[in-house]
Structure 1
Amino acid sequence: MKRCLHCDASYDSGLAHCPVCGRGPAEVDGFVAYSPQFARDGGGFKAGYYAELARLEGANFWFRARNALILWAIGKYCGRFQSFLEIGCGTAYVLSGVAGAYPSARLRGSEIFVAGLGFAAQRLPSAEFVQMDAREIPFREEFDVVGAFDVIEHIEEDERVLVQMHAALKPGGCIVITVPQHAWLWSETDEYACHVRRYSASELHRKIEAAGFEIERSTSFVSALLPALMASRLARKKSAGKAFDPLAEFNISPWLNKALETVLAAERALIRLGISLPVGGSRLVVARKPAAR
C-alpha cells in the first residue's frame, strides 16, 4: 500500500494519485519525488559525494566486505522475499548486489537527493528508484525487507525513521541495518561524512525495539581492524592543524586493499558461525516486525 503524504490515506500501490485527496508525488529530473522540497538540498549528506562513492565502492575492501555481510544476513534471516526497499541507496552498489543474488525480487531504491538516483539508475536499470525523505516514507505494509546501510546515523530523527520503516514493512518482514559504532572513534571523517552520531549497541537496540521490532541478530563488524582505526584516529589528533584528506583511508595500495578484504572475510566467517562480535568499527542488526495475529 501507498501512504498519501498529504492526507495520510492508504491506497493501492498501483495508483499514481491518492483516490481520497487526488494528490500525488511530483517529478524531479525524471524521478518520482515524494519530498521534492529536499530533492536538491536535503541535509545530512552532500550531493557531491555520489561521484566519489561511484568511483570507490567497487574496488574498496570496506564496501566489498560490507556488501558480502549484508547479502549473507539477508539470505540467513530474511528468507524468500519478494519485495525490498533500500533507504538511502546511494549509487545502488548494495542494491545491485541484492539484484544479483535475488533476480526475481521487486527492488526499489530511495534517496533524498535526486543527484544520487542518476548514478543508481545507471548502475541498476532494472530497479525502481524514487526520491523520498526517510522521515516520511510513503508506503504502508508494502515490503518484505527494508534496508538502511550506513544511513540513519546521518539523520537527527533516527527514531522517527525506524518507526517509518516499521510501518512500511509487511507483518513478519525484517529490517537490515548497518551503522558506524563507538562514539570514541569519532573523528573528522565522521564530520566530513555528515554523521550525527556513532552508535553504541545499547542505544541502537533500544531505538529499534522502541519502534516495534524484535531483534534477531546483532553483531559488530570491522572488528579485526579496530586497532588500526584507533591508531589512525590518534595519529590524526596528534597532527591537528594539518590539512584533512577525507579519502586518505581509501587511497591504499592494491595489495593492502586485498589483504584487508581477506581479514574481513575471515571475520565474516566467524559471524556466519554464530559468533557475535562485541566491538568493531560498525554494527549490523537484523530485526523483525512481529507477524499479524
Structure 2
Amino acid sequence: MDAALYPTLHQNQERHWWYAARRTILTAVLEELHARGLPPGTLYDLGCGVGANLPLLERFGPTVGVDMSDEAVEFCKSRGHDNVVRADLNQLEGLESGSGRVVMLADVIEHLDDETPCLRAARRLLAPGGALLVTVPACPFLWGPSDEVAQHRRRYTEKSLRAVIEPLFDIERTTYFNTFLFGAVAAGRVLERVLSRPGYAGVSVPPEPVNGVLRSIFAAEAPLVPKVHLPIGVSLLCVARKSQSDAM
C-alpha cells in the first residue's frame, strides 16, 4: 500500500462503523478473558497495520504491535506508538518466546496463503495459559469483489476456522458475529456480484447519520459475543488458549 494513504486509512479506521464497532466487541471479549484470568505478560497485536487497535490493547497492559511492513511500523511510531516492531508474521523473529498474555490476529490470517506458520509462531509467543484471539471474515458464499480488493485468500466457516486452530491450541469458543446486519450485508454482496464491482473497499466512511446507526447496531452485539454462540454472521471469532503444559 502507498504509505501516503496511511493517514487517511488510520483516520477512517477510527471512524468507520465496522472498525469502531469491532473494537467495542473486542474490548468486551478481552474484558471477559481478563476476568477469567490470564498469565502475566505482553499483549501482542499481530498484523497491526496503521495501529488503530493499539490503544484498545494498551488499556489491558503492556502492548506490542507487529507488522510486516516497514512503512506501517514507521507510521505507527510517528503517531507515538514506539512499541511497534517489524517482523515476519510466520516467524516473529526477535520476540521473546512465552512472553505473551494475549496474541490478537484481527482479520489477518485470511490474507495469508497458509495460516499454520503464523499460528505456530503465535503459540510460541504465548505463555502457557495465554489467549489467542482471532477474527476472520465468515461465510464463503459471501465472497465478492470486496474480498478481492482487500486481498483476502479465503472466507471461513466455523468448521474451517476450528480446523486450522485446533491442532495448535485449546479452543475455548468460536462464534459468528456481525449478525444483526447479516441480511443487509448479504444483500449488498449479491449486488456486488451482479455489478461486478466492490461496494466497500475498506477506506471510505459512510455519511452520518448512516455511519453512526450502523456502528450502534453492530456494537449492540458486544454483550453477546463474549458469552453467546451466534449461529451466523459476517465475521467469525475464535478464543483459544495455549495449553498449560505446552512449553513451546
User: Which TM-score applies when normalising by structure 2?
Assistant: 0.89
Paired residue for 1:136?
91
Match of 1:3 in 2: none
1:191 to 138, 144, 148: 148
Partners of 1:268 and 1:244 lie apart in 2 by 28
Q: Say if 2:70 is the partner of 1:114.
A: yes
Per-residue CA distance 1:187-227 (angstroms, 9 max, x = gap): 1111111111111111111111112x111121111111111
Of 228, 242, 245, which aligns to 1:292?
245
- Provide the rounded CA distance (Å) in 2 between the counterparts of 1:204 and 1:124: 34
* Separation (CA, whole Å) in 2 of partners of 1:275 and 1:238: 34
Report the alpha carbon displacement of residue 82 of structure 1 after superposing the two structures with TM: 3.3
Q: Deviations over 1:76-102 (max 9, x none)?
A: 114454311111001111111121x22
Distance across 1 between alignment mates of 2:191 and 2:101:
44
Equivalent residue, structure 2, for 1:30: none
CA distance in 1 between counterparts of 2:236 and 2:151 reads 18
Cα-to-partner distance string for 1:60-90 (whole Å, 9 max, x where unaligned): 1111111111121112114454311111001
| Corresponding residue of 2:106 | 149
- After TM superposition, the score normalised by the length of structure 1 is 0.76
What is the CA deviation profile of residues 160-193 of structure 1, one whole-angstrom value per residue up to 9, with x for unaligned ones? 1111111111111111111111111111111111
Counterpart check, 1:94 vs 2:53: yes
Q: SS of the residue aligned with 1:117?
A: helix
Higher Cα Rg: structure 1 or 2?
A: 1
Q: Is the 8 A contact 1:135 1:157 kept in 2?
A: no
Alignment of 1:43-54 (within 5 A): 46-48=1-3, 50-54=6-10
| Separation (CA, whole Å) in 2 of partners of 1:47 and 1:113 | 11
**Residue 246 of structure 1: how far off its partner (Å):** 4.5
Cα offset, 1:244, TM superposition = 4.8
Q: How many Å apart are 1:276 and its aligned residue?
A: 1.2
1:248 to partner: Cα distance: 8.0
**Counterparts of 2:181 and 2:143, CA distance in 1:** 15
For residue 42 of structure 2, what is the aligned residue in structure 1? 83
Tell me whether 1:71 sits opposite 2:61 in the alignment: no
Deviations 1:238-279 (A, max 9, x none): 223xx656448844221111111111222222334x221111
Residue of 188, 211, 216 corresponding to 1:232: 188
Please state whether the residue corresponding to 2:243 is helix, strand or coil: coil
* Runs of 5+ unmatched residues, structure 2: none
Q: Is the Cα–Cα contact under 8 Å of residues 218 and 276 in structure 1 kept in the other structure? A: yes
Relative contact order: is structure 1 or structure 2 higher (C-alpha 8 Å, sep ≥ 6)?
2
Q: Tell me the distance in 1 between the aligned counterparts of 2:78 and 2:203.
A: 27
What is the number of residues matched between the two proteins? 240
Residue-by-residue CA offset, 1:134-183 (whole Å, 9 max, x unaligned): 11122321211111111010001201111111111111111111111111
| 1:275 corresponding residue in structure 2 | 228
Deviations 1:107-138 (A, max 9, x none): 1111101111122223343x411111111122
Look up the match of 1:207. 164
User: Which consecutive residues of structure 1, in runs of 5 or more, have no partner in the other structure?
Assistant: 1-45
Indicate if the aligned counterparts of 1:54 and 1:119 stay in contact, CA closer than 8 A.
no
